[in-house]
């Protein structure tokens, strides 16, 4: 059996700060992609996911028939703005 050791308060704060930095950097990348209306992975246009507020995805996301161009390869990029 493994034991779980809780991080000290100072380590927990450092981890939380590092996580906040990573999330801010990721959000900045998504905002830049949305402003450019270009997928950062494949370069295709983006579309808003109407099921989840603030969620964007590549127009090539999904199965054949749901993508903008079913003949082009799929792309799995998604981001929250």
Would you give per-residue pLDDT tens digits along the chain (81 residues)?
677 777 788 888 888 999 999 999 999 999 999 999 999 999 999 999 888 899 999 999 999 999 999 999 999 999 998
Laid out side by side, the sheet with 46-48 consists of 46-48, 55-58, 78-80
Question: pTM for the complete prediction?
Answer: 0.74
Burial class (CB within 10 angstroms; exposed 0-12, middle 13-18, buried 19+) of 47:
middle
Residue 45 to residues 21, 39, 64, Cα–Cα distance (Å): 27, 6, 17
What is residue 57's predicted lDDT score, i.e. its pLDDT?
96
What is residue 63's predicted lDDT score, i.e. its pLDDT?
92
Residue 63 CA to residue 1 CA, distance in Å, equals 42
Alpha helices in 1-81, H assignment, sequence order: 9-36
């Amino acid at each position: 059996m493994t034991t779980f050791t809780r991080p000290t308060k100072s380590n927990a704060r450092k981890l939380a700060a590092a996580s906040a930095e990573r999330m801010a950097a990721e959000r900045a990348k998504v905002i830049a992609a949305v402003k450019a209306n270009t997928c950062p992975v494949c370069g295709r246009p983006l579309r808003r996911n109407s099921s989840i507020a603030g969620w964007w995805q590549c127009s090539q996301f999904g199965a054949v028939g749901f993508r903008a161009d079913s003949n082009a390869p799929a792309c799995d990029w998604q981001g929250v703005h």
